[in-house]
Chain A
Amino acid sequence: MLPQNKCPPEIEDYVSAQSLAEAVAAMADGQGSALAGGSDLWAQKDSGNGRMRKRLVNINRVPDLRGVSEAGGVIRLGALTTMTELLESTLLRDKVPVLAKTADRFASSQIRNVATIGGNIANASPAGDAVLPLIGLDAQVELVSKRGKRSLPLDSFFRGPGKTVMEADELIAAVEFATPPKGFHGVFCKSGPRPALEISVVAMCLTGILKGGKLTGPRLVFGAVGPTPMRCVKTEALIDGKALDDALIAEALAIMATEIAPIDDFRASKWYRTQMAQTFLEAELNACR
């Protein structure tokens, strides 16, 4: 339904790109909106809040944006990789099960079949789930435009709700991360009354190398408790490589609460979000002992 006083933008041009060169050319003047699975773009289209620009650029037939592969100790996920592929890829199930765990809590079967990694990142919702484990894996995001290619840490990609450092002429081509080493531990937690089809009230991803009850090189990232995915670097530094005893866990919970910035909204209160974040972290740190 159209809220009053808001008009969806007219789509003035449509390009069905068959190659990366065609897709990049169609985006070059900054007037294109990439179409991947459409589960955000089409859902937001009529609200007047969406970010639909004049030209719809369908990228679904661009082979270079697809595929899950591993070479030289680096795993590459094309931007069009769907949540279903995260669940079904044997490579990922074996080597990065935290991605399948995340996809398993994502939307519904029908949405998972179309929702892409690139769309989840570009949409930049503070409650985007798939970005959390990717930040936990120190993923780099590869952007392409007519001007060239650049890679940057996913962790530095987000600027605010719906805001990123991506320019209007750029496309996300892929994300890449080092194949996790032996002993890699990754968990994803998400709160909501149902297992799926739930916009995260709080989501958390915790990763690191787990050995003898200690988590080394930890990454702690929360969703839906701030304007962007919130990485808790002070908490990470506190627990890095240390024995996770009761005192350290209590300290970690207190410091983490100062690093997140939850708000009150219709889904949950700030208080509830903080409690849930602490509950997740406490449970997962205890599970590492």
Chain B
Amino acid sequence: MSLTHKITFALNGKPVRADADVASSALELLRGAFELGGTKLACGEGECGACTIIVDGRSRNSCLMPAVDLEGREVLTVEGLWREDGIDPVQQAFVDEGAIQCGFCTPGMIMQTKYLLSRNPDLTAEEAERGLEGNVCRCTGYKKIIAAAIGAGTGARD
């Protein structure tokens, strides 16, 4: 039997509890016990960004985060972007720019863009490119993703 540890944290604005397997990642806990499939597993090694979530205001790769380290933290996943009045402006910008093909990288791209805009609502193309370096897309060629990141920024400002 693997060792578990009880944790409580805030998940998309709601307090939650879990019995976290000490050897498992935050990604496994979110996708497993919490059935939040938006956060994707691709490389499992911190290289691709498909698993990006925002923890205490900072983006990170949930595949490299031990689940037990979620204790006491505020966690935002792509599911947490849902609003009463529709989707998040960052999601809308990805739709508007056609920055999605297969969509597998998209939640990670959107969460990282969300983080970048929280630090700097007015991204230049270079800042968007540098900020999304840890997010890999095998489909789009990135141009539309960068355009969406910049477009979402202006949207967030007005």
Contact = CB atoms under 8 A, between A and B. Distances in A.
A132 B99 CA distance: 39
Interface string A85-125: 00000000000000000000001111101100000000000
Closest 4 CB pairs of A and B: A108-B134, A113-B58, A42-B64, A14-B22
Interface in A7-59: 8, 10-14, 16, 35, 38-39, 42-43, 45, 56, 58
A150 B65 CA distance: 30
B91 interface: no
7 contacts: A16-B5, A107-B134, A109-B116, A111-B46, A113-B58, A113-B59, A196-B130
Interface in B7-49: 22-23, 25, 45-47, 49
Contacts, number: 88
A16 B132 CA distance: 32
Nearest to B62: A110
Interface string B113-126: 00110000000000
A138 to B, nearest CB: 31
Contacts of A42: 25, 63-66
B58 A11 contact: no
B68 interface: yes
Given A35-B66, A38-B66, A56-B66, A110 B134 contact: yes
B3 A108 contact: no
A14 B134 contact: no
Contact of A111 (B2, B66, B134): B134
Interface residues of A, number: 29
A11 B23 contact: yes
Interface string A188-216: 00000011110000000000000000000
A197 B43 CA distance: 14
Interface of B: 2-3, 5, 22-23, 25, 45-47, 49, 52, 58-61, 63-66, 68-69, 71-72, 112, 115-116, 130-135
B130 A43 contact: no
B131 to A, nearest CB: 5
Contacts of A14: 3, 5, 22, 68
B143 to A, nearest CB: 17
A196 B64 CA distance: 18
Contacts of B22: 11, 14, 56
A60 interface: yes
Nearest to B49: A110
B18 to A, nearest CB: 14
B46 A43 contact: yes
Contacts of A56: 22, 66, 68
Given A42-B65, A109-B130, A110-B112, 11 more contacts: A14-B3, A14-B5, A39-B64, A43-B64, A108-B46, A108-B49, A110-B52, A111-B46, A114-B64, A196-B134, A197-B133
Contact of B69 (A38, A45, A113, A197): A38
B134 A60 contact: no
Nearest to B136: A197
A255 to B, nearest CB: 36
A123 to B, nearest CB: 13
Contact of A114 (B5, B60, B131): B60
B142 to A, nearest CB: 13
A12 to B, nearest CB: 7
B107 to A, nearest CB: 13
Contacts of B66: 35, 38, 42, 56, 58
